Amino acid sequence: MATSALTLEHINAFYSDSHVLQNVSFELGEARMLGLLGRNGAGKSTCMNVSVGLLHPRTGDVAVYGNRVTHLPPEQIAAHGVALVPQGRRIFKSLTVRENLIVAARKSSGNGRHSPWTADTVFTMFPRLSERRNQISAHLSGGEQQMLAIGRALMGNPRVLLMDEPSEGLAPQIVHEVMNTIRKLKESGLSIVLVEQNPTLVFDVADDIVILNSGHVAVVSTPAELTEKKVDLTQHLGVF
């Protein structure tokens, strides 16, 4: 297999007493997109929290390009080139659009790569944010907040981009725009984990699929294989 951008290995994670991730392992290949599926509460967001260091696993390891980052604090994992577009967007509401971007600015963590993302390049990608650059971000629409959350993640010039339900709560037209952006980012060579509840969105763009069910990895496959074998996803994902 090609270089691994992000590896979760035998992760066991707890929220107080509840064992939310049970021996979870998966691997995101460099420049690939991994679709992480599962119902509400299956452990998708917990995987994201573990990957960025917000939740430290009790056992198991997280590695970024072969570097073990398991017990590092979030700001140091960010320095390894991991960025998160979190569920619920979590933009800094009292900051302006531009400030949301500049507080996250970081030079590339890659080895001698250029750092393409600056506030200006983000504004070029999202002209609507550019028009509102000096507005307090709390006043943005849901779709604009999602673009800002993506732009903020890109400002770190990451090697690994984690996106936790970027389509959540958005109108279909906006979801379409966001998915186009994600497609472009993938084409630029970024390694991406896309967390979704809706498999049809993911099957379009992902190279690999991991399905979580009640904290376990239930399926590791590819969209083509799952479609070809007509695997019954409803047992893992419910009705969609």
Partner 1 sequence: MNFWILLAVNSITFGGLLFLLSAGFSLIFGLMRIPNLTHGSLFMLGAYVGATLIMGILSVQLDFWLAAVLSALVVAAFGALIERLLLRRLPGEPLAQVLVTLGISFMVADFCLMVWGGDPISVATPTHLVGFVRYGVAVFPLYRLAIIGIAAVVAVALWLLLERTRLGAMIRAGVDDPDMARVVGIRVSQIFTIVFGLGAALAGFAGIIGGPILSVYPGLDQDMLPLALVVVILGGTGSLLGSFVGSLIVGFLYNFGQALLPELAYFILFLPMLLVLVLRPQGLFGRQLP
Chain contacts with partner 1 (rule: CB under 8 A) = 52-54, 73-75, 78-79, 83-84, 86, 90, 92-95, 99-100, 102-104, 106, 152-153, 155-156
Q: Are 49 and 74 in contact (CB under 8 A)?
A: no
Number of residues assigned to the chain: 240
Q: Are 68 and 61 in contact (CB under 8 A)?
A: yes
How far CA 54 is from CA of 75, 102, 176, 212, in Å, comes to: 10, 22, 30, 20
Cβ neighbours for 189, distance < 8 A, ≥ 6 positions apart: 31
Residue with structure tokens 């969105």? Answer: 201
Q: Report d(CA 230, CA 218) in Å as an integer.
A: 16
Q: Which is nearer to partner 1, 94 or 180 (CB)?
A: 94
Q: Which is nearer to partner 1, 17 or 75 (CB)?
A: 75
Reported for 206-209, long-range contacts at CB under 8 A and 24+ positions apart, including other chains, are 206/33, 206/34, 206/35, 207/29, 207/32, 207/33, 207/34, 208/28, 208/29, 208/32, 208/33, 208/34, 208/35, 209/34, 209/35, 209/37
Q: Which is nearer to partner 1, 154 or 219 (CB)?
A: 154
